Amino acid sequence: MPQENIILPIAGMTCASCAMTIENALKKTDGVISANVNVATEKATVEYDSEKVSLDKIKEAINNTGYTVDEE
């Protein structure tokens, strides 16, 4: 199982509830092993199985919660 880690900047979070919403959505995504969203740093740290889920799918899960991955 090829595990990968990625840190994604997230725009639009204002409180701990925002972070929990995103974290829960990520944890429900098939292939995501763990997710930690920090509202203070506005970043999501995601550990995932790259054979089961793509980076695009992870970003889509975040976008579906109403927040966006802040691409540079």
**Separation CA 62–CA 1 (nearest Å):** 23
* Domain boundary assignment for the chain: 3-69
The pLDDT of residue 71? 75
> For the domain bounded by 3-69, which CATH number is listed?
3.30.70.100
Per-10-residue mean pLDDT of the chain, 72 residues long, equals 93 95 98 98 97 96 96 69
Q: What pLDDT was estimated at residue 26?
A: 98
Listed in sequence order, the residues at least 6 apart from 19 whose beta carbon sits closer than 8 Å to its beta carbon are 13, 37, 38, 39
User: What pLDDT is attached to residue 72?
Assistant: 63
0.95 exceeded by pTM: no
pLDDT of residue 51: 96
